[in-house]
Structure 1
Amino acid sequence: MSAQETYKAVLFGPNVIGSGTEVELHYSNGEYQDVVVLEAVEEGQTITRTYRKGAETEEPIPYRFVEEDVSTETPEGEVPN
């Protein structure tokens, strides 16, 4: 492995999800990560998106969108009686 701790990757998915966004990822045990899970909070919802590594071996490494999970948990005290 090189002295670098990160590598360049690009995320691809349907519509605007991923949309060719370039990111830097950390190596996992000296190798490219096979699966990347990103989490974001938008309008009170937690969105978890999963990407899987493509077959190409030159940077930026492509990752394809696999699935999305949206959690709409309501914090305690905000539920009307």
Structure 2
Amino acid sequence: MRQYPVRTAEHLPALLKAFRKESGLTQTQVATRLGVTQQTLSALERNAQKMSAERLLHLLGILGVEMVLQRKEPSPHSPPTPERGGGGW
């Protein structure tokens, strides 16, 4: 399974469009399943950083894409985390 790291919101639009095309779906088909207009989906693909987490997860499900969160390897200059003795939330 290929992974696509997303480090900034600007990475999302191109990935979402590519996943949709790879799935063989048109904007209209995805929009219908997402419950929005084709114009709204087009705007979301161009400006994905404005999308709610709930809508993003729904869209990813339609596209057959799974989001996996993974902790980055800590750098020597990283601030302490709870696991490394830095307190809690």
Query: Structure 1 length normalisation: TM-score?
Result: 0.24
- Bigger share in strand: 1
Higher-helix-fraction structure: 2
Higher relative contact order (CA 8 A, sep 6+): 1
- Give the TM-score normalised by structure 2: 0.22
